[in-house]
Chains A and B, each alone.
Chain A
Amino acid sequence: MTTKYKGTREAFAAAMLDLAEEVKNLVIVCPDSLKAMRAVEFGEKYPERYVECGIAEQCAVDVASGLATAGVIPFVGTYGGFLTMRACEQMRTFVGYTNQNVKFIGVNGGLIGGEREGVTHQFYEELAIVSSFPNYTIFTPSDPQQCYEACKLAVKTPGPVYIRVASGKEPDIFPEGTPFSASGITVLKEYGNDAVLFSNGFVLDRVLAAADLLKEQGINVTVADINILYGKDPSAILETMAKSNQLFTIEDHNINGGVGSYISRLACEHRPAFVTRIALTTYGESGPAKELADAYGFSPEAIADKVKTTLKK
């Protein structure tokens, strides 16, 4: 039975509750983040499987490394930047280099993830950082349902896994029961091959809306969600890339190191094409998620306009 959830953070907590009986060696490691991770119920139900470390992310990652050496599967959940930046070295040396079976859930990914908290709590760099660490698998779910599935898949994925999550207020896109695509890609719209729009994370609903706007203007595109970044086998992504020589990437992340970099690399190495990257090149600011996303170039209209003007060149 699946625990009910709304938003990505509750999806994480639900997945932990649903996995707990089956995966007896699963624990949650918290740098005072149990509430933020919506996992209080887990902590109350399994007190010894909730490992509190205090407000100390470096310690939490080190503790997780130590736990994993003894066959425990730790999920370290807190703000993505505090993991990947504050505890960057611990993630790299004591989990990545040692190839420990530790899972990370980094919340507040992107402007949309950090929204009104402001720049200290908005993170647009995590994927660039983690993607430079060998041994890591990176999951970027695009809605709560996919986040739930990503957490379940993480348990079956050996070695370090990083899952990028957001605020907990994300729109639902995928129908219940949709697996987390093992090929790293899900094609969601196939209006045509004028361009392929690759997205990841919580701007996906905006990219889908942009595709509809473009269709109304006679531009027919394909939209694909990239849910595994820098995966081992990119063949399914390459197949979709082959549909057009005009590729676009849209992500709520810095322009370096995320899905734009990934698609550019694949284009350079396997299938030359024009790649236009819509992403962040500045820090953000406080604001409601939708207004922020609109203000920083992720409105459906702005995305559609960028595609249209680029194709006209």
Chain B
Amino acid sequence: MTEAELHQIAQKLRLEAVRMVYEGKDGHPGPALSIADIIATLYFDVMRLKPEEPNWPDRDRLILSKGHSCPILYAALNERGFFNPKVEHFHLRELHSKFQGHPSMHNTEGLDMTSGSLGNGIAIGAGMAYAAKITNRDYYTYVITGDGELQEGVCWEGVNMAAGRKLDNLIVFVDRNGWQSYKSVEFTVGHNNIADRFRAFGWYTQEICGHDIKSIRSAIALAKANKGCPSCIVCDDIKGKGVSYMENNNAWHKGVPTDEQFAIAKKELGE
């Protein structure tokens, strides 16, 4: 798939994520838009998957550790063919919906792990990666965390463990959009030097623009070629990317577009 095609898919997923929140009248659009290009590249170019067999033992795994971004993942699974028939209206966060407020692995086909309580994805991913080693499977485990999320101590327990066990089949993306629920990461902890920290913990660490498909692809290729330690790809992202009034506006961490705002989003995302 070409970079232009992947960009088109990312834009489509963005629109579906915003639509999901607009129709469901609840959810986190800003954090979802931030990772759309990473999700599109993984699900439509990189990951080894069989949508018709979601629990295929040799599939690549993905844990959305920042689970509140799930609208973009739900959109990707839908577009990739995990749901039959394809979903038209997601009924996000509604009673008995397949699409829970935060990802629930037994409710939704294609979800490799439940997530949403921040901090746990790296350690769970380390478990999946370790399992691949001892069961002689060659799947990769991908984890997407937020930069604010890394304030959770358990993240660094997982970072330690993955380095100690030399899990080079584990690739962690950090969505460094600089924001968290209330204010900026910089305000909250005084720094956002994620790459330095991962390197200090013995990880092979790259820094890229998380909206540049070419960079995402090449970083994943380099991460796969790296042996003997886990990989971290720090992605400089824009929270709310793709919708002008949401970009870098933390009011859209959680929020629902009005009819007028949704019309603008549709226009900007190319519908």
* Structural contact, B165 and A58, CB atoms closer than 8 A: no
Least CB distance from B242 to A in Å reads 31
Q: Which of B117, B131, B137, B158 has the most CB of A within 10 A?
A: B131
Chain A residues within 8 Å of B160, by CB: 54, 56, 59
Judge if A94 is at the interface, Cβ distance under 8 Å.
yes
CA distance A2 to B89 in the complex (A): 58
Beyond A52-B164, A70-B137, A72-B135, whether A62 also contacts B158 by CB under 8 A is yes
* Structural contact, B117 and A63, CB atoms closer than 8 A: no
Interface string of B135-179 (1 = CB under 8 A from A): 101000100000000000110011011001100000000000000
Name B's interface SS: helix
Judge if A49 is at the interface, Cβ distance under 8 Å.
yes
Beyond A53-B161, A93-B117, A98-B113, whether A63 also contacts B134 by CB under 8 A is no
Chain B residues within 8 Å of A56, by CB: 154, 157, 160-161
CA distance A64 to B127 in the complex (A): 6
Judge if A66 is at the interface, Cβ distance under 8 Å.
yes
Interface string of A80-108 (1 = CB under 8 A from B): 00000000011001100111000000000
CA distance A69 to B135 in the complex (A): 12
Q: Which of B105, B106, B114, B161 has the most CB of A within 10 A?
A: B161
* Structural contact, B123 and A58, CB atoms closer than 8 A: yes
Q: Which residue of A lies closest to B105 (CB)?
A: A98
Number of interface residues of A (CB under 8 A): 30
Judge if A21 is at the interface, Cβ distance under 8 Å.
no
* Structural contact, B161 and A59, CB atoms closer than 8 A: yes
Classify chain B's interface size.
Answer: 20 to 34
Judge if B130 is at the interface, Cβ distance under 8 Å.
yes
Q: Which residue of A lies closest to B170 (CB)?
A: A66
Interface positions, chain A 32-90, Cβ under 8 Å from B, are 48-49, 51-54, 56, 58-59, 62-72, 74, 89-90
CA distance A66 to B61 in the complex (A): 10
Chain B residues within 8 Å of A25, by CB: 135
* Structural contact, B113 and A54, CB atoms closer than 8 A: no
Beyond A53-B161, A65-B127, whether A72 also contacts B114 by CB under 8 A is no
Chain B residues within 8 Å of A58, by CB: 120, 123, 153-154, 157
Name A's interface SS: helix
* Structural contact, B114 and A67, CB atoms closer than 8 A: no
Interface positions, chain A 214-272, Cβ under 8 Å from B, are none
CA distance A70 to B128 in the complex (A): 7
Judge if A11 is at the interface, Cβ distance under 8 Å.
no
* Structural contact, A27 and B158, CB atoms closer than 8 A: no
Judge if B126 is at the interface, Cβ distance under 8 Å.
yes
Q: Which residue of B lies closest to A25 (CB)?
A: B135
* Structural contact, A59 and B57, CB atoms closer than 8 A: no
Chain B residues within 8 Å of A70, by CB: 57, 128, 131-132, 135, 137
* Structural contact, B114 and A62, CB atoms closer than 8 A: no
From A51, A90, A93, A94, B130 is in contact (CB under 8 Å) with A51
Given contacts A65-B124, A70-B57, A72-B131, 9 further A-B contacts (CB under 8 A): A54-B161, A56-B160, A56-B161, A59-B123, A66-B113, A66-B130, A69-B112, A74-B127, A94-B114
Would you mind naming 7 contact pairs between A and B with Cβ atoms under 8 Å apart?
Answer: A48-B134, A62-B154, A66-B127, A69-B127, A90-B154, A93-B117, A97-B114
